[in-house]
Structure 1
Amino acid sequence: MSHTTEFMALFGMDLARLPNVTIDSALTVPAVACAVAFLSRTMATLPLHAHRDTKDGPVRLTGKTAVSIHEAPNNLMGAAKFWQYFWQQVFTGGRGLAWIERNGPHIEAMWLMDPRKTRIKRTGFSLTYKFDNKEYPAADVIDIPFMLRADQVSHYGPITLAAKAIQLALAMNDYGSTFFAGGGVPPLSLEGPLPEGAPALQRSFEDIKRAIDEARKSGKPIVPMPPGHKLTPIGIDPEKGQMTGARLFQVQEFARIWQLPPTFLHDLSKGTFANVEQQDLHLVKHLVGQWARLAEDELNLKLFGRSKSGRYVEFNLDGLMRGDFKSRIEGIARAIQTAQMTPNEGRLLENRPRHANPAADELLVQGATVVLGQQPVAGVGHNGGPALDDGEKNDDKA
C-alpha cells in the first residue's frame, strides 16, 4: 500500500478496497431498495385474471385454477404476497421461480422456489429444476429471468450488472458516515520537510494521526504540528461532505439499470409538471407493459401448455393509467356514447354493481350520429321504426 493510500485510509478512505456487493448489502443503498420495492409491488398488485374464449367472447375462469392465479396461489400466501416475493427475486438476483402443483388439467396451487437453492440442468432441449432434493420438469416451473446468458440456462441479475455502481454508492455511504463521525475532517496534505526513509515517515504519520485524534476527542479546533510543517486540506470541505452531486448521479445510474424513469426513484431534480406526467406513460408502455407481456407468455405456456385450449391469463394495465376521477368518468362516458362499451361494462370498470335494466347491456350511440352526406329520414325513429308524434307519446304515457 502506497503512502498516499495509507494516509487517505487514516480518514476512512481506503482506495485499495471497495465494499463487497451482495443482495443484502445492495439493498442498504436507498435508490436500489426503492427500485426493487417499487417494481416488485407494482407487478404484484397488477390485476391478473384467467379467461376462456367462447363464441360470445372471453369469459373469466372459475374454480381452483382461477383461485390459484388471482386470489391465493397456495394455502400460505395471498396473490399479492406471492407475486411480490417472485418479482423481488427477478429484480435482485435476476430470476423468479415457482412450481405448479397440478391435479389433472386443473391447477391446485403454485409454490415459490428459492432461486439461490435451485439448480437448473439442461440436457439437449430439456430443462430440469432441482430444488429441495426433488427434480421438476420445466413444464411445471414458472421461470422468469431478468436476462438470460448465452447458454440459455444461467442468467444476469440487475444487482450483478450494477455491482460497480453499487460499490461506489456503498463506499460513498461509508465515507460520508466516517467523515462526519470524525468531525468532518477532510483529506489533508502535510507540507514541510519530511523525514527520510520509510520508518521515519511512518512515525510522522502516526504522530499526525495522534494529534488529529486528540483534537477530535478534546473538541478543540487546534492541531499541534511539528515545527516547519502545516496541514492543507486537499479534499472536500464539511459542507460538501455528503457528495450530493455524486450521489444524485448514482440515483440516475440505478434508474438506467432498472430502466425506471428517475421520478419513481424520487429524483425530481429535472422534473417538471409536463415531463413527470409523461414518465407515468413511459413507465407503463416501456417497462411494466413489457414485463407483463413476458409474464403472460410464461404463465400461458406453463399453466395451459402450447395449445392452451382457449384458456389464457392477462394482466389489466388500465389501473396504472386511471388518471383522476374527472378524466376517468369523461373517458368512460365517451366510450359508452360511441358504442365501444355498454353502460354495465363502464360501471364494472369503476367497481360499481351491474344495473338490472336490460338496456344497460346494450351498445348505445347518440341518435344524431349519421353517415356523412345522409340526412335523417322524416318519420323514421332511431331504431328504424316509425317516429312517434306528441299525441302518441302522451297516449303511451297514459
Structure 2
Amino acid sequence: MKILGYELRRERRSATIENPTIPVSAKNFLEFFGIQSGNLPSVTIDSALRVPAVAAAVSFLSGSLANLPLHAFKPKGEGSERIKGGIQKLLNEAPNPEWTSFGWRKYFWQQVFTGGRGVSWIERNGSSVVAIWPMDPSATVVKRVNGRKVYVFDGKVEYPASDVIDVPFMLKKDQISVYSPIVLGEKAIQLALAMGDYAGGFFAGGGVPPLALKGPLPTGADGIKRAKEDIKRAIDAAKGKSESIFPIPAGYELVPVGFDPQKGQMTEARRFQIEEIARVYNLPPVFLQDLTHGVKANVEQQDLHLVKHVISQLAKALEEELNLKIFGPRSNGRYAEHNLDALMRGDFKSRIEALARGVQTAQMTPNEARKLENRPPKDKGDELYIQGATVPLGSQPVLQQPPAEQENDEDKGNGDGNDTEA
C-alpha cells in the first residue's frame, strides 16, 4: 500500500514464530533420540522461556541493565553536574506514578531479549517531560507515513517517533522490523525443548524405554494386540508395586527400541544447547550457570567480556535513545548516562581498593569517594590529595652533610694510625 508515493510498511507479528513444517538441519541428531522432525515443538516466547537457559539469559541481562544507576547531567564550567529533580527523578527513581525505574527498565529489556524490541512512550506537557510509560511491543505497529516513522499502539493511538523510546535487538534491512533473539535461536531452542520433552517422557515412564516383544507371536492382529496388552499390564503392575522383576511368557524376549540416552550423550547434548543459547545473547556461558569449562582465569576474563562487550553496548543504546528523544538533537550539553561502577557493588574489596587509588592519585576527593558509598561528607574532604613520594623525576634535592659532621669524619680517619691508603 502506498500513501502519497511512499510505501507503507507494517511490522507483522504472529502467534508462533516458527514454521514446524520446515525440517531442521539436525534432523538425524533428533532421530538419534527417537524424535521425528515433524514432531518438533513450536517455538513461541512463552515456550522458549520454559527452557532454563533462555529464561536465565533474559532474566540476567534485563536485571543487570535495570540495576545500573541512570543519571541525567548538565554542563557546569569545564565539566558537568548531575541534574536535580525533574528528569533525574524520572530516569533514576520513578518514570511515572505506577512504575519504579528498576521495574520499567527491566520490563523494557525483557521485551528486547524476547520479542526483539523495547518501546516506551514519553508523555510531555509542552516541551517538558512529565512521565515515561512502557508499551507492549506486541500491541505496537511500526510503520512509515509520508516517510516518517510512527508507532500505532493498540490500533488506536498514533505516536511520532520523537515521542517513543525504541531499542531493537537487531534491525532488519527495512529499518522498521526487528530480529528477535528467540527467532534467531529457534533451532537451538527447539532442540532444547524436544530433548526436555523426551527426557521427561522417559522418566515419567519409570525409565522404561519403548520395548519390542520378540518371539513366536500369535497370528492375526487381535492375537498380537492381546500379547502386547498382556506385557503392558505386567510392566504397569511391576511399576505400581515398585517391583524390578515381572514375568513374561516363556520363549519371549523384550528388546529396547531406540537408543539409551546415556549412550546417546543426552546430558552432553543438553549442555551444548546452553552454549548455543548463550551465543545468541552474546553471553559467556558462566552467566547461564554453566561452569563445565570454567576455571579461575577464564571466568574472570568472561566477567570482563560481559562488561566491555555486552552490558556497555546495551547501556549505550538506551542512553543514545534517551538523549535523542528526551533532550532532542540540540541537547545543549545535557545527557543521560549509566553508572557502570554499580557492577562492582558486590565486590567490596575491589571497590574499596579502586576508590582508595582514585583518592591517592588525586583523581577524586575523599568526599567524592564517600558519596559513591552513600556516606556523608567530612570536613576537608573536598581537597585533592596525592602521595608525597610521587615527584617528578630528577627533582629530588641532593642532601649534603653539615660541616661539623664532615670534620668529624676526617678526624676519624687520622687518629689511630691504622688507615690504609687506597
Asked whether the two chains share a fold, i.e. TM above 0.5, the reply is yes
In 1, are the aligned partners of 2:116 and 2:170 still within 8 Å (CA)?
Answer: yes
Which has the larger displacement, 147-156 or 119-128?
A: 119-128
Partner of 1:265: 288
Is the partner of 2:90 in helix, strand or coil? helix
C-alpha displacement at 1:370, in angstroms? 1.9
TM-score relative to the length of structure 1: 0.83
C-alpha displacement at 1:106, in angstroms? 2.1
Given the alignment, which residue of 282, 285, 298 partners 2:308? 285
- Structure-1 separation of matches of 2:346 and 2:96: 33
Cα displacement string for residues 134-186 of structure 1 (whole angstroms, at most 9, x for unaligned residues): 00000000000101111110101111111111111111121111111112122
Partner of 1:365: 386
Given the alignment, which residue of 237, 244, 247 partners 1:218? 237
Query: Could you say which structure has the higher helix fraction?
Result: 1
C-alpha displacement at 1:366, in angstroms? 2.2
Partner of 1:91: 113
Partner of 1:119: 141
In 2, are the aligned partners of 1:98 and 1:110 still within 8 Å (CA)?
Answer: yes
Partner of 1:311: 334
Change in CA separation of 1:311 and 1:209 when aligned onto 2, cut-off 3 Å? farther
Is the partner of 2:39 in helix, strand or coil? coil
In 2, are the aligned partners of 1:344 and 1:354 still within 8 Å (CA)?
Answer: yes
Change in CA separation of 1:185 and 1:107 when aligned onto 2, cut-off 3 Å? same
Is the partner of 2:310 in helix, strand or coil? helix
Which has the larger displacement, 59-68 or 39-48?
A: 59-68
Greater Rg, structure 1 or structure 2? 2
Change in CA separation of 1:195 and 1:254 when aligned onto 2, cut-off 3 Å? farther
Aligned-residue sequence identity (percent) comes to 57
Cα displacement string for residues 264-323 of structure 1 (whole angstroms, at most 9, x for unaligned residues): 111011111222122111111111111011111111111111111211000111121356
> Residue type of the partner of 1:149?
K
2:35 matches 1:20: no
Cα displacement string for residues 73-98 of structure 1 (whole angstroms, at most 9, x for unaligned residues): 00101101111111100011110000
Given the alignment, which residue of 91, 103, 107 partners 2:129? 107
Change in CA separation of 1:140 and 1:206 when aligned onto 2, cut-off 3 Å? farther
Which has the larger displacement, 43-52 or 276-285?
A: 276-285
2:180 matches 1:161: no
Is the partner of 1:340 in helix, strand or coil? coil
In 2, are the aligned partners of 1:147 and 1:155 still within 8 Å (CA)?
Answer: yes
Is the partner of 1:155 in helix, strand or coil? coil
In 2, are the aligned partners of 1:64 and 1:106 still within 8 Å (CA)?
Answer: no
C-alpha displacement at 1:21, in angstroms? 1.1
In 2, are the aligned partners of 1:179 and 1:241 still within 8 Å (CA)?
Answer: no
Change in CA separation of 1:53 and 1:216 when aligned onto 2, cut-off 3 Å? farther
- Structure-1 separation of matches of 2:356 and 2:378: 16
Partner of 1:36: 58
- Structure-2 separation of matches of 1:216 and 1:124: 70
- Structure-2 separation of matches of 1:82 and 1:76: 9
> Residue type of the partner of 2:361?
T
In 1, are the aligned partners of 2:235 and 2:246 still within 8 Å (CA)?
Answer: no
Change in CA separation of 1:55 and 1:208 when aligned onto 2, cut-off 3 Å? farther
1:1-398 residue pairs with structure 2 within 5 A?
13=35, 15-123=37-145, 125-132=147-154, 133-188=156-211, 206-207=225-226, 209-219=228-238, 221-222=245-246, 224=248, 230-237=253-260, 243-322=266-345, 324-357=347-380, 360-376=381-397
Is the partner of 2:193 in helix, strand or coil? helix
In 2, are the aligned partners of 1:176 and 1:242 still within 8 Å (CA)?
Answer: no
Is the partner of 2:132 in helix, strand or coil? strand
Structure 2 spans left out of the alignment, 5+ residues: 1-29, 400-422
> Residue type of the partner of 1:245?
E
- Structure-2 separation of matches of 1:252 and 1:377: 63
Is the partner of 2:352 in helix, strand or coil? helix
> Residue type of the partner of 1:92?
T
C-alpha displacement at 1:329, in angstroms? 2.2
Which has the larger displacement, 263-272 or 177-186?
A: 177-186
Structure 1 spans left out of the alignment, 5+ residues: 1-7, 379-398
In 2, are the aligned partners of 1:184 and 1:241 still within 8 Å (CA)?
Answer: no
Which has the larger displacement, 301-310 or 329-338?
A: 329-338
> Residue type of the partner of 1:120?
V
In 2, are the aligned partners of 1:146 and 1:156 still within 8 Å (CA)?
Answer: yes
Change in CA separation of 1:153 and 1:60 when aligned onto 2, cut-off 3 Å? same
- Structure-2 separation of matches of 1:147 and 1:224: 60
TM-score relative to the length of structure 2: 0.79
Change in CA separation of 1:208 and 1:352 when aligned onto 2, cut-off 3 Å? farther
In 2, are the aligned partners of 1:182 and 1:216 still within 8 Å (CA)?
Answer: no
Change in CA separation of 1:215 and 1:105 when aligned onto 2, cut-off 3 Å? same
